[in-house]
Structure 1
Amino acid sequence: MPDVDSKAPGELNDAVEVVLGIAAWAGTVAGVVGILATGIMMAVSVKRGESSEHFSRLGMVLGGCILVAAAGPTVTFFFKNA
């Protein structure tokens, strides 16, 4: 049986880390913008005297933030331990 090295080359590791870093920053920016937009919509609704269900939208935004925050470390864990 031939001895096969199953680890990824160093250049690929570096490229994946750069892509994960950019994706993490982009996800963080999108999360902050989403929270701010939801807060603005809530403030406008209260000022108009409307009762809107913005907490479900806020929950979706926060769920997306959690997903983005957990994706990078999860992929890095499996990528480095493979």
Structure 2
Amino acid sequence: MFKAIAAQAHRAVYLADGKIPSPNRDAPNELTGKVDTVLGILAWAGTAAGVAGVLITGAMMAISMRRGEGSEHMGRLGMVLGGCVLVATAGPVVTFVFA
């Protein structure tokens, strides 16, 4: 318990002096390769989900227009497109911050 408190106090002092921490990159190559593979798969899945969301929302809008129903599909489309923007910018933002 005391070690955790001391480590937290050391971190607080370290950040209080204005220095930016610069951790060493010493992860094993096998691990970084696996993490990159998983992140790549998640990026493709997020992109596929965004495309599917846009297609489904467009189909629902077309069906509603055909029936003559007014609905709030534009709000749904906005949320889907917002999610697409988040998925598309996540990788470059992380690369910018940690590279």
Output the TM-score relative to the length of structure 2. 0.68
Out of 26, 32, 35, which is 1:13 matched to? 32
Give ranges in structure 2 of 5+ residues lacking alignment: 1-22
Q: What is the identity percentage for the equivalent residue pairs of Structure 1 and Structure 2?
A: 66
Deviation at residue 78 of structure 1 after TM alignment = 3.8
Query: Do the aligned residues in 2 keep the contact of 1:34 with 1:61 (CA within 8 Å)?
Result: yes
2:67 is aligned with 1:42: no
Q: What amino acid sits opposite 1:13 in the alignment?
A: T
- For structure 1, the 5+ residue unaligned runs are none
Structure 2 matches for 1:29-68, cutoff 5 A?
A: 29-68=48-87
Q: Distance in 1 between matches of 2:46 and 2:30?
A: 24
Aligned residue identity for 1:69? A
Deviation at 1:9, TM superposition (A): 2.4
Distance across 1 between alignment mates of 2:95 and 2:35: 9
Higher gyration radius (CA)? 2
CA RMSD of superposed structures (Å): 1.6
Q: Are residue 24 (structure 1) and residue 68 (structure 2) matched?
A: no
Give the TM-score of the pair, scaled to structure 1: 0.81
Q: Please list every run of at least 4 consecutive aligned residues from structure 1 whose deviation after the TM superposition is greater than 4 angstroms.
A: none
Q: Structure 2 vs 1, CA of residues 76 and 25 (structure 1 numbering), >3 Å: closer, same or farther?
A: same
What SS does structure 2 have at the residue aligned with 1:6? coil
Partner Cα distance (2:79, 2:56) in 1: 13
User: Larger RCO: Structure 1 or Structure 2 (Cα < 8 Å, ≥ 6 residues apart)?
Assistant: 1
